[in-house]
Structure 1
């Protein structure tokens, strides 16, 4: 069944109103007809089976047939703090992070970042990335698009996360492996969630790693090979989701 997004204000007790691009897609692209069924999600964790009633490119209405608590949302809350990457790499990272099950995404400037986003340009990018999380949820079956937050600096994010469990992946790490960290702190991560830092193309600088150590976070590696930034996030998140029970159940 095709999935579409509608905000919570568009859903009443027995009926849903769909406007904007979603209405255009239903009416003009898919050319759906009254009495056909679709699935709606509103970001709250619920899916709604809808029987279409009226259809136009400006407004689509439908009756709510059933409401189902979406089973695809992970029970583990993982935040991805991602160093800004060039071109389409950032799009790929965000799409795959949603598919794997991340709960929040924070893009950051790092010492070795090539990309610099500020002001209106940054706001436009973040708005676009948030639309992408909705599209990714349609594809993967999730119902709560993870928010992509305002582009920030490394230190600012580190201060904002003070006292919360956090882990940075560093290609030159000589600290304990990821497995031993998860084994010792698994229950903590399940109860409080975990924030994961992934660097940009050039990785994190020694200064950033030193600051992270001072904040009390864990430093881990992803094996003997150096991974691209668009690969590292997917690999790290997949391992964490598996080890913490989301993908392995």
Structure 2
């Protein structure tokens, strides 16, 4: 990828030939004031990326010519899934953005007892779509060609992680081993972290019953949006 070359996500499978950019990518190209002849990079989340050249800039349409596929991947060496108690205000946006940059495979927003934000119904669907768009934008910026899935918000008591991999619970409990313990367990990993105020004792007990193991990030109390990212960075970069 050339430094500074604009990158756009296209959700439909790409192939060499003429293409109209999807509405979101077209608006982005117009905001960047791109012109016919400008080179761009496209990716569809199915692996690798495609080189393309803008052929026409219309009022609402941007036509491009898709060229060669490049088998470029920038994924973390370890598959890590985050399950997080939804933090308040705009902090979930920030968490999703940084988790995408750091290589998270997926993000599961959870409604815990101490969660301040508890979207449901149509509001939950809108939040999920918004957070997925945040993940897409982060991948466009950081160079990832596979977009992490942001799942629909789920109640903690109703949620079960997919089978396989180790399960780590970020805990402030006395005696919890250090997070570096997780580095000795290769393979996929699930990281469960609570909202502001943490998980209740009952929620921790439920997680332990579901196969999670306590780990500690140290003596400092990290914010709800910081703790899972710290663990993610340890797992994805500590094994690089």
User: Do the two structures share a fold, i.e. TM-score over 0.5?
Assistant: yes
1:81-160 equivalent positions in 2, closer than 5 A: 81-158=83-160, 160=161
Task: Judging by fraction of residues, say which structure has more helix.
Answer: 1
* Correspondence for 1:66: 68
Is the Cα–Cα contact under 8 Å of residues 173 and 219 in structure 1 kept in the other structure? Answer: no
Farther-moved stretch of structure 1 (223-232 vs 165-174)? 165-174
Q: CA deviation at 1:162?
A: 5.5
Is the Cα–Cα contact under 8 Å of residues 179 and 231 in structure 2 kept in the other structure? Answer: no
TM-score (norm 2): 0.92
* Correspondence for 2:18: 15
SS at 2:149's partner residue? coil
SS at 2:15's partner residue? coil
TM-score (norm 1): 0.89
Q: CA deviation at 1:209?
A: 1.0
Structure-2 separation of matches of 1:162 and 1:12: 34
Q: 2:194 aligns with which of 188, 196, 199?
A: 199
Whether 2:5 is the aligned partner of 1:4: answer no
1:177-188 equivalent positions in 2, closer than 5 A: 177-183=178-184, 185-186=185-186
Q: 1:132–1:181: structure 2 CA closer, same or farther, 3 Å change rule?
A: closer
SS at 1:229's partner residue? coil
Deviations 1:37-63 (A, max 9, x none): 011111112211111112213222222
Is the Cα–Cα contact under 8 Å of residues 99 and 137 in structure 1 kept in the other structure? Answer: yes
SS at 1:75's partner residue? coil
Q: 1:102–1:224: structure 2 CA closer, same or farther, 3 Å change rule?
A: same
